[in-house]
Each structure stands twice: as C-alpha cells, then as structure tokens.
Amino acid sequence: MQKLTVPRRRRFTNVFQFKCTLLGTKPPVWRRLQVPESYTFYDLHVAVQDAMDWLDYHLHQFSVPGKEQKGDRDHIECPWWDPWDMDDDWLITTEVPIKDYLNNPSDRAIYRYDYGDSWEMSLNLEKILPKIKNTTYPVCLDGRLAAPPEDCGSIPGYYQCIEAFEAADELEKRPDTEENEELLERLVWLNGWNPYLFDPKRIQFENPRERFIMALDLK
C-alpha cells in the first residue's frame, strides 16, 4: 500500500510551457499553459482541468516516455484509482514530479481523463523559461474553443453539442421529429455553453492541495 503525499507549494526557478491539445477535435481545442517546474503530475492534472473548465469528476492518467527502454511508455496513475490496493512500484500522480519525465522541449505526455468519455490530450513541452517576478503560476497564455462539457459523450457527443448550439435559433420551428427532440433536449442540457467562446483571462486556477484534500475528505 502506498502512502499518498498531500500536494504542497515548492520553490521553483523555471516554468514549463505546454501546448495541451484535445485529440480528435477538428478544429483542435487547445490551451497553452505555463506551470512551475516543481509541479507533480497531479498538480499538472489540476491545471489542465481548470484550463479546460472541467470539474475533475473522473479518473485520470498520464502516459509518458519510459525510462527503461526507448519506445516504452510509463503510466502514472490517478491517486483515486484504488490507493489502498496499489503496489509500491505503481507510479502515482501525486508522487512523481513532471521534471522526472519531461525536461526537454519536444517531450510529450498523453493525458487521459474520464475513462467513459475517454478524453485524450497531447501535452507538448514547448519551452523552459525563467519565472517572471510577481507572476502567479500557473498561467494560461492562449487557447482555442471551449472544451467539451463534462459527460457529453466523448467526441461524437461533443459534435452533437455543437450541432445543437448552431441549430438553437431554429430548433423550435423544425418538424417534431425524434432527432430534433434530442437536439432540443441537449440544448437545454448545455445551459448556455458556447463552443466558440474561450477567454484565457477568465480561467481561475485552484490550489491542487485544496482539491486533493476535498477529494479525500481530509481535515
């Protein structure tokens, strides 16, 4: 059984800049993030969740270049996978610093979230830069398009959400068919979601420590 480390702030000198792209989306949904070099993979997970405006309802995992043999991949698992049954040699996101695996520009991790909808993101390390004085990290520099809503049904469901949004003005005028009824129900469920609306300045990043404590109901 592994003991999980509660996330904490660590000193850092540099920041890692990632381009995070949601695979399977055309045009691609992406975010450009800068995070402290001292981050663990759990900290990075929280930053990606916040940048995508997801709610961290589901399990996550990272796939990274393996250390033992070229071409292999190591998998770094979510702390909630089943922490009480994890062997000591399992890699857990709270225990592994990102710089243990990602330390050169062009290094890449695959981030998986929600094993039902099966979202996959490519996290490409673009640059390693000195931190800027008086800047609070993480930072979202740029991006494109709103992320798919939680539990929308993977890529097909995402495109159905876009279809419902684009048909909003005329749905009530369309014939009363099963397809149109489903689109109308989805539009109501979307509750104002706009696939084309994204403003990096509106992103609010949570403290990974607080997220972790809340998830495990710790005091």
Contact 37, 13 (CB under 8 A): yes
Domain boundaries, the chain: 14-145+198-216, 154-190
* Rounded Cα gap, residues 93 and 97, in angstroms: 8
- Please give the CATH number for the structural domain made up of 14-145+198-216: 3.10.290.30
Contact 51, 143 (CB under 8 A): yes
pTM attached to this predicted model: 0.91
pLDDT for residue 69? 64
Could you read off the pLDDT of 132-169 as tens digits, one per residue?
A: 999 999 999 999 999 999 999 999 999 999 999 998 87
Q: Of 181, 185, 119, 124, whose CA–CA distance to 153 is shortest?
A: 119
Residue written as tokens 């992320």?
A: 147
* Rounded Cα gap, residues 3 and 69, in angstroms: 28
